[in-house]
Amino acid sequence: MPILTLPRIGPAERALYREEGYFILEGAIGAEDLALLRAECAKAVASRDAELDRLGVDTEGLTHRGKRYFVRQPSLVSPELLRFFLGETMAACARATVGPEAFAFYEQYVVKCGEQGMRFGWHQDGGYVKSFNPCPYVTCWCALDDVSEANGTAYILPFSRAGTRELVDHVRDPENNDMVGYHGDDPGIPVVGPAGTIAVFSSTTFHRSGANTTPKPRRAYVAQYSPQVIRKADGTALHRSEPILRGGARVADQVLS
């Protein structure tokens, strides 16, 4: 049985999240989980290409074939990935941020292809669902490769440098379909670290990513959790609603059994 190593999230990380909207955990994902995430990523990109073929297009939403891929909700077709999405590592991140009651909200793969991977504009994750007036939630951006400024890593803009911790209106960039909410010149703080690094940030924290100028792809798995189920006007869940924490204790085993 593999040894489970949980990310170390202490008072300093919790305070940074409260005050500036983020913290970074270097190398927090173990080798076995990384192997799983990478294998499922390859399947997810292949399925996205097949969908583009079916539609007869090279661009659909934020995905641009051979350059940048967004694959939504991959754990819906992968029980192994679901176990990570609702697992101990992600539960620890949710507990430190949204609190003792937490629900799965959304997940996706984001892949930037080698020497083709496009940049991604400044945005708050909540900007993509602002019309639903969501409660603040947390994003766990999990690097599946060593990340650097050269291969298109994420950049984070702390609350104090963004000038706000509130959700703002975004506008769509017609060139790449990105929603953009920050138009200043602050470059942000790059997430630099080994594969398995997790950048944890609020849905109201601005972030972006650069282009991948290296020969190899830059892969990330993104998982999001909310303190309550985020619902549409008709009362149904906007995306996901599986519980991951109740009273601070992980309850995902009940969902997976």
pLDDT band (50, 70, 90) for residue 119: confident
pLDDT band (50, 70, 90) for residue 2: very low
Distances (CA, A) of 76 to 40, 72, 158, 212: 12, 9, 32, 28
Which of 100, 125, 121 is closest to 200 using CA atoms? 125
Tens of pLDDT, residue by residue over 25-79, are: 999 999 999 999 999 999 999 999 999 999 999 999 888 898 889 999 999 999 9
Q: Kind and range of the H or E element at 162?
A: helix 159-162
Q: CA 154 from chain center: how many Å?
A: 10
| Highest-confidence segment of 22-26, 206-210, 253-257 | 22-26
Q: Between residues 177 and 46, which one has the greater pLDDT?
A: 46
Strand segments (E) across the chain: 22-25, 59-60, 63-64, 68-72, 102-112, 120-123, 138-143, 154-157, 171-172, 179-180, 189-190, 198-202, 206-209, 218-226, 243-246, 249-250
pLDDT band (50, 70, 90) for residue 167: confident
Instruction: Say what percent of the chain tops pLDDT 90.
Output: 72
Arch. (CATH architecture) of 21-256: Sandwich (2.60)
Sequence spans of domains, the chain = 21-256
pLDDT of residue 20: 98
Average pLDDT, the chain: 90
- pLDDT of residue 95 exceeding 90, the answer is yes
